[in-house]
Amino acid sequence: MESASSARRGAAFTSEDAVDGEAAAVRPAPGSAGAERGAEASETGPNPRARLMFSMAMWMLLIVAPIQAVLGDLHGGNTHEHQPAKVAAMEGHFPTERGAPAILFGLPDAAAGETRMQVAIPNLASLYLTHDWNGEVRGLNDIPRDQWPTNIPLVFWSFRVMVGLGLLMITLGVAGGVMRWRGRLDSTPWLLRAAIAMGPAGLVAVTAGWIVTEAGRQPFTIYGMLRTADSASPVALPAVATSLAAFVVVYFVVFGAGIWYLFKLFQQTPRPQEGAPPQGQPIRTAGITPISSSKPGAAPELQPAE
Ligand code: HEM
């Protein structure tokens, strides 16, 4: 199992504590942690908790990742209608075209007004943006330059990172479904390694999506109405600097303590031969003592700390 251990060492996001907090955003992380612990325990025996955690995360991925892609498509149609310059930058479209291609990769060059070295699929962008094979997609060259996003390559590449990770998530979810169907969900090393590698994917995709949205709407804070340059409040520099410094200090302390605690938890080696989750009781999550649901009035059974 040397290779599984190596994969585990390479994983950046490896604790079920990730289930808390930003869980929705980083959904594959529990799968990553479950995969890691499952791989570790298989050296000496099964780890039912890791299997359950991995199984739940893979169900989630199978169901939610395709929904995310459908919602993303609907979101894109809406943005195409209301913020055409953002979509043109996301797509790398400079000329307005009927039957516009989906540019998979390329080098958007704002100065030259074109995307160079394109790898593209003909007509596909028209299909998913207008739901018509020959629908018209407005390009940046038809929009006044002072309304173009200020950093077109950033918007273009962030969009590809987000969608690329979304597609990888769908692939992983489907692969998990197939392996579950074959009865090998938690005994397929490449699947466990892929789940570990995808641990940070949710967080990265969310960040990329946010960059697409925010960099894409520049140079406006209210699209088409209020420019970013006109939005700056007339606040004196020392006042801004003081509140910024206060934010930096508070966040540094709060997040610093949280990250220090998380890394402390990461250091705990998974134990082989851990028992199955308790039957007839709510499963204990970090720091919460379970209420005994099996015997009313009885003292709660103590669970060993994780
Ligand atoms: C799989 C295919 C995906 C497609 C087609 C897609 C499409 C889109 C589109 C069109 C936008 C709108 C940009 C805008 O108008 O401002 C967007 C934003 C966003 N996406 Fe995706 N996306 C996909 C996957 C993902 C995934 C997997 C995640 C995260 C796990 C994600 C997270 C986000 C976020 C956080 C935003 C910003 C929302 C906002 O701030 O308003 N997307 N996406």
180-223: pLDDT as tens digits: 999 999 889 999 999 999 999 999 999 999 999 999 999 999 98
Ligand 1: residue of 129, 172, 203, 213 to mutate (most ligand atoms within 8 A of CB) is 213
Q: What pLDDT is recorded for position 21? A: 33
pLDDT tens profile 241-259: 999 999 999 999 999 999 9
How many angstroms is it from 204 CA to the middle of ligand 1?
11
Q: Which atom of ligand 1 is nearest to the CA of 202?
A: 30
Would 20 be classed as within a structural domain?
Answer: yes
Q: Which of 81, 159, 212 to mutate to test the pocket of ligand 1 (most atoms within 8 A of CB)?
A: 212
Asked whether residue 279 is domain-assigned, the answer is: no
- Residue at 293 is within a domain: no
**4-30 mean pLDDT:** 38
Residue of 63, 68, 79, 204 to test ligand 1 pocket, by largest number of atoms within 8 Å of CB: 68
Q: Is residue 42 part of a domain?
A: yes
Residue 100 lies in a domain: no
| CB of 66 shorter than 6 A to ligand 1 | no
Distance in angstroms (rounded) separating the CA atoms of residues 29 and 24: 10
Residue 110 lies inside a defined structural domain of this protein: no
Sign of the CA dihedral with 130 first, then 86, 208, and 111 last: positive
* 16 pLDDT above the threshold of 50: no
For residue 9, the one-letter residue type is: R
Does 76 sit in the ligand 1 pocket, CB within 6 Å? yes
Q: Is residue 258 part of a domain?
A: yes
pLDDT value of position 48: 79
Structure token digits, residue 132:
């018509």
Give the pair of three-digit tokens for residue 69: 């892609």
pLDDT-based confidence at residue 274 (cuts at 50, 70, 90): low
Q: Give mean pLDDT, residues 108-135.
A: 91
Distance separating alpha carbons of residues 95 and 86, to the nearest angstrom: 14
Please determine, for residue 25, whether its predicted confidence score (pLDDT) is greater than 70: no
* Tally of structural domains, the chain: 1
pTM: 0.74
17: confidence class by pLDDT, cuts 50, 70, 90? very low
Q: How far apart, in Å, are the Cα atoms of 142 and each of 95, 126, 145, 242? A: 7, 17, 9, 44
Per-residue tokens: 144: 């006044």
SS (H, E, C) the chain: CHHHHHHHHHCCCCCHHHHCCCCCCCCHHHHHHHHHHHHHHCCCCCCHHHHHHHHHHHHHHHHHHHHHHHHHHHHHHHHHHHCHHHHHHHHCCCCCEECCCEEEEEEEECCCCEEEEEEEECCHHHHHHHCCCCCEECCHHHCCHHHCCCCHHHHHHHHHHHHHHHHHHHHHHHHHHHHHHCCCCCCCHHHHHHHHHCCCHHHHHHHHHHHHHHHHCCCEEECCCEEHHHHCCCCCHHHHHHHHHHHHHHHHHHHHHHHHHHHHHHCCCCCCCCCCCCCCCCCCCCCCCCCCCCCCCCCCCCCCCC
Q: Whose CA is nearest to atom 41 of ligand 1?
A: 213
Flag whether 255 is in a domain.
Answer: yes
Q: State in Å: Cα 159 to ligand 1 middle.
A: 8
Q: Measured from the CA of 217, which atom of ligand 1 is nearest?
A: 16
Ligand 1 atom closest to Cα of residue 207: 35
For ligand 1, whether the C-beta of 28 sits within 6 Å is: no
Averaged pLDDT score across all residues of the chain: 81
Check whether 306 has a pLDDT greater than 70: no
Residue 241 is predicted with a pLDDT of: 95
- CB atoms < 10 A from the CB of 14, how many? 21
Name the pLDDT band for 281 (thresholds 50, 70, 90). Answer: low
Q: Does residue 110 carry a pLDDT above 70? A: yes
Which domain, by its residues, includes 38? 2-90+151-266
